[in-house]
Structure 1
Amino acid sequence: MSKNIVVLEDDEGIRDVLEILLLSEGHEVNAFADISSFVANKPKDADLFLLDVMLPDGNGILVCNDLKKTQKTANIPVLMMSAHADFSALSLNCKADGFITKPFDINHFLDLVNEHLKEG
């Protein structure tokens, strides 16, 4: 069954790869390059959020915290992605459901996404 995955990633190459991978798995993808376009166009029926930590107009950790504090999105899984942080440090500031280190292994990435989609 198709799931709606929202991607917030400023690197166009990574965003394109994520979109291709997720579409090839049969999912719908809404991808955004910055927080302002994410906030203005955020789909209301997301099944999973993939958020980069470092963004040009803010911090993905703050977006994660906002999603987890909002009643409508509090139970939707959030996976954080970063080349510069580790999950133990990130988990002190953010209640994300998982963490993807960049660069990432494609099979591990898809396994993690599918695992959280089943839980959600």
Structure 2
Amino acid sequence: MKKCIYVVEDNPNIREIIEFLLTEELYEVKGCKDSKAFWQQMQQHEPDMIILDIMLPDGNGIDICTALKGNIKTHNIPVMMMSANNHLAQVKSKCTAEDFINKPFDLNDFAERVGKYAPN
């Protein structure tokens, strides 16, 4: 059975590229354009990994990460935070995600990192 990854990214172009890349790597991918869509998706099914943009139109990825890591049901799901600005040190101090990556990123590096947390 394919590993499932949720991608929470408000930019449709970036979300589509990540979805395409991960689908090519044989993952089942669910794209979410905002935190509301993400929480609705979480009620349906819990993924094997979550990739979270920090800046979202209706909230931010840090709050989502904090909520996930503070919940006994979801604290073991690996989370990768993405950011277009280089404030990852500040982000790391605010949430306990497994990985952090700056946008734009190298696609091979990105796929390798995902494979570390959600091996197929």
Tell me if TM exceeds 0.5.
yes
Cα separation, 2, equivalents of 1:85 and 1:62:
18
Cα separation, 2, equivalents of 1:66 and 1:85:
23
Q: How does 1:66-105 map to 2 (within 5 A)?
A: 66-105=67-106
Aligned length: 118
Residue of structure 2 equivalent to 1:52: 53
Residue of structure 1 equivalent to 2:115: 114
Q: Which amino acid aligns with 2:95?
A: C
Aligned-partner SS, 1:5: strand
Moved >4 Å (runs of 4+): none
Cα separation, 1, equivalents of 2:66 and 2:86:
16
Residue of structure 1 equivalent to 2:64: 63
Q: Which amino acid aligns with 1:66?
A: A
1:40-59 CA-partner distances (Å, limit 9, x unpaired): 22242310000000000011
Q: CA deviation at 1:85?
A: 3.7
- TM value normalised by structure 2: 0.93
Cα separation, 2, equivalents of 1:44 and 1:69:
18
Q: Which amino acid aligns with 2:64?
A: V
Cα separation, 1, equivalents of 2:90 and 2:24:
32
1:49-102 CA-partner distances (Å, limit 9, x unpaired): 000000000111000000101111101100000011433221110111101110
Aligned-partner SS, 2:100: strand
**Unaligned stretches of 5+ residues in structure 2:** none
Q: Which amino acid aligns with 1:46?
A: P
Cα separation, 2, equivalents of 1:69 and 1:85:
25
